[in-house]
Every structure is written in C-alpha cells, then in structure tokens.
Structure 1
C-alpha cells in the first residue's frame, strides 16, 4: 500500500466515523424534546425515566415529561407571544388571580400555564429511594390535622380516586395556615383557591394508564413510594411562611 492509498483509507475511515456521529446526533435530536422559543422552558426531570420503577414505569415517565409537559410549555409560549406580560410575571402570581389575564387567552393560560406549573411541582416532588414517611414539623402537622400519615394518605387517595375525569389531588396549606386535602380539575392549581401545595399527585390517565390501565387506586397507592419527603417538608415550610 503506497502513501496515497493510505491517505485514502484514513480519509474514508474518518468520513465513516463522521457520518456515523452525524446520524446518531440526528437520531437523538428526533427523540429529545426541543426547547421552544419563549419565556417558558421544559425543566429537566432530574432523574432517569426508569428511576421510579417499579412504581412508575420508564415509558410513562418519558411520554409524560417529553410530550405532555412539553406540549403545555409550547402552548404557554404561544400564549406569551399574544400577551407578552405572561412571560414577565411570576407564574404563581398569574395563577393566583386569573381574572387579570385577558379573556381571549384566559382558558389557555389556565390549562397550559397551569399544566406547566403543576408538572414542574410534580417532578420535583418525586425521587428514587427517598424517605418512606414525613418527619419533623410536617409530620407533626399531619398528625395534628389527620391523626397520622396513613390517614392523610388515605384522604389524598380518596380525593384522587374520586376526581371524575382528569385532575389532581393535593395536600395543601389553606388560607388559615392549616393542612387540608383538596382536588382540582384538569390543570387547575390550588393557587387560584388561595391554597399553597405541599404535595400533589397527577391523576390524569396519561400519568398511569400504560402500567395500571383503569386501576387508578393501585397507581395512587404505589405513588407514595416515590414521594420526596424532604421536598414536601420544604414546600410546607414555604407555605407556612
């Protein structure tokens, strides 16, 4: 093999590697969620899609985060293009008083900005291998309000199981600074009710149907194994002021 042939061989190998790398990049780009232009961004999940198995399966987590949540973010950015103030105000301020949102986009903001906020809260509230129960001030408050952690869980599960159609079940600090359990429809948030959430569970079918089908009660029972009680305690501290 002469020098010219050697150079051709090397050039061909480099080209093949480059082409392979390019094709892999394109393939990844087709599956990774694109960050839309606008003030709203899809937050990273913070853990692997499979991290919450066997309680929540990887495929559900991927579809839920990369498609459903991403759709809310995309739609919120489209609304912000129509009403720029939407991207300048804190989300909590907007969702606490939707009457300030123009009539033409109010429903869209409720559904999509609410969906973005709810899901961001939801991802942060779950973690692989976390503590199995609350402690400290949150534990004391739960015991005082409900008689124990199991009783509180049962009440949240009942609220989630009893939600007709799609929505959420929440443990909140209400206007009187007391713990309560509520449920909201669709992507409504507790903020509009003057409540501050400590924890919340998504009971839309896309949150559980691949694994649990119509067995929402089984999903709710399993979900407690994923709760990040440290985050819930921080939420409680913030909610109490």
Structure 2
C-alpha cells in the first residue's frame, strides 16, 4: 500500500499565501483521499505496483480510476516539495538555464503565470526539463509528467480551485504570482534540474509498503 508523505514544514509555514486551514484540508483530507482510494482500487484488482510511478504508467490510457488517483497522489507530493516557508534563492545551473531560455526569472514568472491563468479548468502548471532544455507546460485534471518520456518536472503549482480558493477566491493570477514570488523552493528545483542532466536522481514517490 502507498502512504501519505508528511509535509516537510509546518502547516502555517506558507502563510499568508497559503493558509494553515488550506494546508490541513488539502494535505490531510484531499491528498489523503487519493491515497485511500488508490489503495482500495489496487487491493480490489489484486495489483501490487512497487512504486507510484509504475502505478501511473501501468494505468495510463487503460484504467482511468487508478491513473487519476495515482497521478494526483504523485502530483500533490511533488507540489509540497516545490514550496518552502524559508527563502531558497535561485542559483547555479538552473539560474543559467532560466536566463538562457526565458531571459531571466521575471520572464519565467510571466510565462509560468500566463500558462496557469490561460489553462481552462482544473490541472497543473509545470516548469519542466528535457535534458538541459526548459519549458513551461500545463496538464489537465490529473495529468502527470511521469508519463512523459525524457521529461523531468522541475516545479509544479496546483491549478485546482481547492488549492487556492479559501485564500484567494477566484484570483488565480494573484495566487500564482504570490506563489512564484514567495514560496518556490529553488533548492529543490535545482536538484531536479541537475537530475534532468544526469546528475543525481529525480524525485520519486515513497515506495509501497506491506499492507
């Protein structure tokens, strides 16, 4: 069975951009429900994937219920790690790649926010890498970059309304701008970019444990 990863910071660490109330609801209830449903679906089917990544890939295009719950579990776990309540400055190879691709971090912010507000309905907005090349993309609903061969997620922000509505109501743009300016953990993003270039391992969801 798969487990709900603990947050690496306090529930109020992301305030005022994301409130403690939102974090308790989003992590403890919403994310936890995906894990609960996924584990029951796998138990009922007799499937026992060792990793969340395998569950996602095995279900893609074949089993929508398993895919949606597994991909959403993975996306949320990755999302928590993309944020920090402490300042984690941008630097190194990732900073150079952002300058090379977008013309600087402010231009990346503009592209990221525009992709997010231009995305209709629920989903996710990503900064991703193919080798050392960066791009900003969005995915619908439970869309997950785990299914994209050769693509490494660097950052992601949740575009589902439950991620921001308590704190920002319908102002998705304001949420994305504040999120980018104040919450991004550039240290984690840098590790992901290094992994995309063959330097270390990219993020993987905690492996399944015996029931």
**TM-score interval for Structure 1 and Structure 2 normalised by the shorter chain:** 0.7 to 0.9
Q: Secondary structure at the match of 1:232?
A: helix
**Counterparts of 1:135-150 in structure 2 under 5 Å?**
135-150=91-106
Q: Structure 1, residues 180-209: CA drift from partner, whole Å, max 9, x if none?
A: 111001111012232210000001000000
Provide the residue aligned with 1:186 in structure 2.
141
TM-score (norm 2): 0.87
Question: Aligned pair count?
Answer: 196
Relative to structure 1, the CA distance from residue 97 to residue 177 in structure 2 (aligned partners, 3 Å threshold; closer, same or farther) is farther
Shift of residue 178 of structure 1? 1.3
- Alpha-carbon contact 1:166-1:204 (below 8 Å) kept: yes
TM-score (norm 1): 0.77
Shift of residue 240 of structure 1? 2.0
Q: In structure 2, list runs of 5 or more residues that go unmatched.
A: 199-211
Q: Secondary structure at the match of 2:139?
A: strand
Q: Structure 1, residues 152-190: CA drift from partner, whole Å, max 9, x if none?
A: 11111111111111000000013x541111100111101
Q: In structure 1, list runs of 5 or more residues that go unmatched.
A: 1-38
Q: Structure 1 CA distance, aligned partners of 2:148 and 2:59?
A: 11
Relative to structure 1, the CA distance from residue 146 to residue 223 in structure 2 (aligned partners, 3 Å threshold; closer, same or farther) is same
Q: Which has the higher helix share?
A: 1
Query: Equivalent of 2:157, from 201, 207, 221?
Result: 201
Structure index of larger Rg:
1
Q: Structure 1, residues 98-141: CA drift from partner, whole Å, max 9, x if none?
A: 45x8x4xx10122100011001001111111222x410011011
